[in-house]
Structure 1
Amino acid sequence: MKKFTSVITTAGAAALLATGMGFSGAAMAEDAGLSESAKKGKEIAFGRGAGNCLACHQMKGGNLAGNIGPALIAMEARYPEREDLVAVLKDPRDKFGDQTIMPPFGANKILSDEEINNIVDYLYTL
């Protein structure tokens, strides 16, 4: 049984690498035009760790995106004042009320101010 598990683990790792760890070749090419801050923001937003925006939101290039929150499109048009979007990420309860299910990423120290600003830089490219 141990050998079978090892084969599955190896096959899974190979499949993950073959798919570019969730990014297609086209998505990687798009990243070339992003600022360093926006690239970091995308990494956080797409990551399954602290940011994990795809758990709830759809966004360009996201695989298995969530459908709980609104799609992350035209973000600069929706939030022309950058500070407003930063404030939503820091503590969405201020805009949406205490019943929002979006985590207060800044207020709970889930993300640092720098990470939130990186994410906003990326969201403004969508």
Structure 2
Amino acid sequence: MGSKNLTLIFAIVLFLFLNFPSRTQASVGALVNAIATSNFFTGLANTNPASKQALVLCATYFKEAVTFLNLKGLEEGSASLDVHYALDQAGYCETALSTGHVHIASATDRIQKWKSVFSAAYAAVITLEN
């Protein structure tokens, strides 16, 4: 394993340790993030009537992500799949925005934040499952 990989793993573990000190807090943090992201897109939909259809879809996708965000998967061995499905919701939102020709910088930023946080979570889960 190269030093770049070790650095990445250390950064992920440190991030998770500092931001999610317990499984319960991790679950609550992920749920809060998912709900906040859904609410963010609902708010955008209400203020951007021309883009409302795509933005409502995004809000729905992130609301659906909440169903995948539980820590039972760690015990059942399906956590990596659960996090992967939650990450898929961001891709579905990006597709909806692209199809609807919606270009809102704050929406793109929010999706990137989601993908960064959940990519780190995915890497951590893979490490825990193996």
Instruction: Mark the structure with the bigger radius of gyration.
Output: 1
With structure 1 as the length reference, what TM-score do the two structures score?
A: 0.29
- Select the structure with the greater relative contact order (CA < 8 A; seq sep ≥ 6): 1
Identify the structure with the greater helix proportion. 2
